[in-house]
Amino acid sequence: MTLPAAAPFTRPLVLGSTSAYRRELLARLRLPFSVEPPEVDETPLGEEAPGPLARRLAAAKAAAVARRHPAAIVIGSDQVADLDGEPLGKPGNHANATAQLRRMSGRTVIFHTALSVVCHESGFAQHDLAPVKVRFRALDAAEIEAYLRAEQPYDCAGSARSEGAGIALLDAIESDDPTALIGLPLIRTSRMLRAAGLRVF
C-alpha cells in the first residue's frame, strides 16, 4: 500500500507590527499570517542617524516577536524620515505635522524603510534597508493646512501619505521598491521570505 506523500512543513508567518499600513501591504502577497505588536522602545540612541535607527528598530521588532514564536518566520520593519541627517518621526498631532511639512517644503527627504526577517528555530536572519528619495514641492501654508485637515496623517513619518492625497505634495519619488514608502518594501520582503523557505506562490 502506498502512503500519500506528507505535506511539506510550512512555518507560520508573523508580522511584528502595530501598523495597519504594513498589515495591508503584506496581505497583497496572499499569504496567511498573524500580527503581533513587538512592544519595542523606539527612542533614538543619542545622535543615532536615521538609517541605522530604522535598521536597529526593524531588527529589534523582529527579534522581540521571534522570541515569543521561535518556530515562526517573523517580519519586522521600521521607517524613519531623514531631513539632512536629522530623523523625523511620526508627528502625532496637527501642530507637529504642520511644522514637519513646512520644513520639508521644497526639499528632498530620504525615507529609510528597514526590513528584518528572522526565524529563531532555523537560525535564519536577513536584514535590508530600502531608501526612498522624495522631493517635496514648495508648499504654502494654506495647502499644508487643507491637506492636514483632509487626511490627518499624524501616524505617518514625514506627515504625508503618498498612497493618498499626499502624493499631490510631491515633485518626485525615486525608489527600487515602490511600496517601501508606504511602510513595507514588498520586493525585498518576497525575496527574504523565499530565502527563509516560505513559498510565495
Nearest of 6, 40, 37 to residue 22 by alpha carbon: 37
Q: Do 17 and 23 form a contact (C-beta atoms < 8 A)?
A: yes
Q: Do 60 and 76 form a contact (C-beta atoms < 8 A)?
A: yes
At 44, list the grid cell.
533614538
Other residues' Cβ atoms within 10 Å of the Cβ of residue 33? 17
Active site residue 78: yes
Annotated catalytic residue, options 78, 84, 128, 171: 78
Q: Do 29 and 191 form a contact (C-beta atoms < 8 A)?
A: no
- Active site residues per annotation: 78
